[in-house]
Amino acid sequence: MTLTSVSVRSQESGTSTENIFNTFLQESNSESRLNFFFDTHNRYRENSAYDWLDKVNLYLVEAKKQKDSLDILNYMLMQSQVYHDLGDYDKSLTISKELYQIKDLLNLKAKSILLDLMDSSYAKLKFYAEQIEIRKEKRKLGITKKVSFYDIYASLGFYRKAMDDYYIDEKKNVDDGDFYGQAVFYNNVGDFLRLDKSTPTALSTYKKAEGFLNVYLNDVTKTKTDNRLSEAQLLKGIIEGNIGKCHTQLKQYEEALPYLESSIANIKEFSKGKFSSDLVENSLEIAYCYLQLNDFQKATDYLSDNINPEKIENVIKKNSLFASYYDKTQDYVNAVFYLKKNQRIIDSLGSGESSIKLQQLRVVVGEDFENTRTMVQEQRQALEASQNEMIAKDERNNLVFISLVFTLLGFAAMVYAYLRSIKNQRLIAEQKYIIENALVEKDSLLKEIHHRVKNNLQMVSSLLSLQTKNTRSKAAIEALEEGKSRVKAMALIHQKLYQNEDLSVIEMQGYIESLINSVQSVYKKGGHNINITIDAENVELDIDRAIPFGLILNELVSNSFKYAFPTDDENGKIYIHIQKIGNQEGFFEYTDNGVGLPEDTEERANSSMGIRLMNRLANQLQTKLNVDKTTEGVRFWFNFK
């Protein structure tokens, strides 16, 4: 992931957009050219980056002839920035490393530019350990207050962690009245949410960012420099592209098109001369939309529009879009050609990519831990110093207070008011204590109720077991065993509730594991070697939904043990998957690779208590139980609210 390149706290500085390149040439020395170059945001508007590179190279050659060390450093710094703007990060980094070796010769502003440039280049090349060292140097020089890691976590795919750190690090730096800063902030938050597949939330966050930016652009009371207006228009294009990507993820392709088209036009205009990964991604995204809408002409127009992806994932996506296009147009030779290109890329990455990513993660986590420990130590020292200062201040205040009491009897009324205030605070504290105790007592009573309900259900289960021992009918025994299993499933719900700190929800991963163990104790007497996979991490349900879920799962697992694997197959597999989609929707799936359902399943549905029970339980969840007969086994699934 790439955070919006516009800084939240960038300064309102800039220059006229008239004859930018000529103005640069007319500057009298390398120092003034350096300041002009880095203070001008839209410097490639009239002349391309290659024009600037040619001129900077000429100045650098002349400086080397004159052996002017200051000029050499200044022009090398500009040269490195131009290569970075062109997307040649290796070349930019090579020059930056050479400057870094002699960074003590640079002033603070030049050092800051160099370190920011190296930070960005290492991020583009995914050299996170080196990037962290550069950030440590920035903190050492006072350029930044702390070392942040949220963008690195995002690049490694840990978007939720990145978003949490980003909130902590950056939210406090954005004033409520800074609408431009608010737009940058919420656009970055939207990036984390979109990449984490929380698309509806991401879309609303991007809309919020768009609203702040529109307020900023329409505010005529504040003077805006040309540089800042160019940055704002570029940010507008980036936000529009992100909104379009959200609509694409939601399969709303026609809604996505106007946002992506406007985004591409804005980015082309206001990042002229610079390489833009947003432009590449949005062009690929709009080509994908047109392919989905079967408008092949427009899709190929965007795919052929000089798109040169920098990132591997974008290269793969471009090849996939070409393969999809040729497949849809029945040109299977070219479709296979692009699929093979992708396969070669994937093969070249090899299995080592995941281990490299793991190593990078270890480095980042280690540095993050060390950084946090250092920060905590600094905060502790600052707190101790503050406490000592407060103690000394209190002592001084006491002396002043005593002297004032003895000199001015009029303060007696103030003392009386102060004592009344203390009394009121004590009354408030006592009332708070009573309320907190009442809440604790309420939680204890609720836990006791759930405990007793669980014990009562266990007693019912025991009574069913006794009845089983006194019954000779095989059908009756099976019915009693099934009833006992269902009672245990409900008892487990109440057990989990009184064991939880939160009495309102059930953590489904642990509950399903306990339920499986309970069912296995009844039906695994034949020694089935069944591999059970449960995928319900971080899913929590309230009791009204957890009980129907538990009973449905009890029926499905029991049926798998009883009927799905009659030959005691060692390759038996059961897969249980529950996923929450946003805050309101969810998805449930149960599959096994057993013998599958009999041919007369639909006729049996009306007479089978288990199937009727599952259908009624599904009705309680306001959904319908779906059944798919696969070539190997069976699949049950439904969506729920």
Residue 608's domain is classified under what CATH number? 3.30.565.10
pLDDT of residue 9: 36
Pairing type for strands 505-507 and 530-535 reads unpaired
Contact 15, 226 (CB under 8 A): yes
pLDDT of residue 570: 67
Domain co-membership, 209 together with 298? yes
Domain co-membership, 351 together with 341? yes
pLDDT of residue 73: 92
* Alpha-carbon span 372 to 70, nearest angstrom: 38
Domain co-membership, 176 together with 304? yes
Tell me 306's DSSP state: S
Backbone phi, then psi, for 578, in 5-degree steps? -125, 130
Residue 236 belongs to domain spanning = 148-310
Contact 236, 265 (CB under 8 A): no
Domain co-membership, 447 together with 557? no
Find tokens 């799962």 and name the residue. Answer: 553
* Alpha-carbon span 162 to 150, nearest angstrom: 4
Q: Which helix (H) or strand (E) holds 533?
A: strand 530-535
In a domain, 376, yes or no: no
Domain co-membership, 318 together with 304? no
* Alpha-carbon span 106 to 110, nearest angstrom: 6
Look at residues 91, 102, 161, 99 and name the one whose alpha carbon lies nearest to residue 125: 91
Query: What letter represents residue 581's amino acid?
Result: I
If the chain, 641 residues long, is cut into consecutive pieces of 10 residues, what is the mean pLDDT of each piece? 46 50 91 91 83 93 92 93 89 92 88 91 84 84 77 79 83 88 93 90 93 91 84 92 94 93 90 80 93 91 78 86 89 87 74 51 54 56 70 74 72 75 80 71 64 72 77 78 76 70 79 84 62 89 85 87 75 88 82 82 66 87 86 86 82
Contact 79, 33 (CB under 8 A): no
Can you tell me whether residue 575 is helix, strand or coil? strand
Domain co-membership, 463 together with 552? no
CA dist 369 to 275, 361, 471, Å?
35, 12, 63
pLDDT of residue 429: 78
In a domain, 29, yes or no: no
Domain co-membership, 496 together with 594? no
In a domain, 112, yes or no: no
Domain co-membership, 286 together with 321? no
Domain boundary among 310, 325, 346: 310
In a domain, 405, yes or no: no
Domain boundary among 310, 327, 345: 310
Domain co-membership, 271 together with 323? no
Q: Which helix (H) or strand (E) holds 287?
A: helix 277-292
* Alpha-carbon span 277 to 272, nearest angstrom: 13
pLDDT of residue 250: 93
Look at residues 496, 505, 513 and name the one whose alpha carbon lies nearest to residue 541: 505
In a domain, 524, yes or no: no
Residue 179's domain is classified under what CATH number? 1.25.40.10
Contact 74, 110 (CB under 8 A): yes
Domain boundary among 484, 503, 522: 503
Q: Which residues, 6+ apart, have CB-to-CB distance to 471 below 8 Å? A: 477, 480
Domain co-membership, 475 together with 361? no
Number of domains in the chain: 4
CA dihedral angle for residue 465, residue 470, residue 474, residue 476, rounded to 10 degrees: -70
pLDDT of residue 357: 52
Domain co-membership, 155 together with 283? yes
In a domain, 159, yes or no: yes
Domain co-membership, 185 together with 327? no
Backbone phi, then psi, for 640, in 5-degree steps? -145, 160
Total-model pTM? 0.49
In a domain, 33, yes or no: no
Residue 581 CB neighbours (<10 A): 13
User: What are the counts of helices (DSSP H) followed by strands (DSSP E) for the chain?
Assistant: 24, 7
pLDDT of residue 13: 40
In a domain, 254, yes or no: yes
Contact 508, 549 (CB under 8 A): yes
